[in-house]
Amino acid sequence: MSNTIKRNNWSRFCRRFSTTNQFCEAEVRLMGSTAEPGDRTHRFSFVGIALKKEGRLIDGVQLFGATADGQPVAAPVVTITKPKEIVVEHDQDGADRRLTIRSADGIEAKVVIHDSSDYDSRRELVERTAYSLYESRGHSHGDDHQDWLEAERRLNEAASVFA
């Protein structure tokens, strides 16, 4: 079953969708005539979705996440400019698992949430972030505990932005 989200409810929907699906593995596929061929599919750990505003006008919808390449937690993975419609699809249990964002310029982004948010997916994201910190220190040993704590702090900080 699908449901079109009314524009005046987009902010509330983004907060709820972010909180419900935070740290799940996700995939977004871009379709449309102006989508760059190299940028059509992105896989990432979902951190949140937010509206990009210019004053009071909604200028875009941003999907935030972390990828295996050590990108900072809660970096924008995709921005859909000039959004005109958000449609959510529910699975058999009623959970929001698919999202379609259509833009005025013909781009369509299809977001699929692959699994539920759980301890293992969050732990994997902390591990990747801690390892990225280790790499940024030039692979020097002895601070693994500090790297882990810093990764958890960054993850919690990023999560709180979308809650």
Mind listing the pLDDT tens digit for each residue in 88-144? 998 888 888 899 999 999 999 999 998 665 567 778 888 888 888 888 888 888 888
- Is the model more confident about 11 or about 96? 11
Residue percentage of the chain with pLDDT more than 90: 38
**What mean pLDDT comes out for the span 32-46?**
71
Report the candidate in 54, 29, 44 with the shortest Cα–Cα distance to residue 107. 29
Cα 26 off chain centre by: 8
Entry pTM: 0.79
Identify the pLDDT of residue 154. Answer: 84
Q: d(Cα 66, Cα 46) in Å, to the nearest integer?
A: 7
Q: Which two tokens stand for residue 112?
A: 């699929």
Q: How far is CA 150 from CA 71, 94, 123, 133, 163, in A?
A: 15, 35, 13, 8, 20
Alpha-helical segments (H) within the chain: 10-21, 119-136, 144-162
Q: What does the chain come to in residues?
A: 163
Which position has the token pair 């982004």? 109
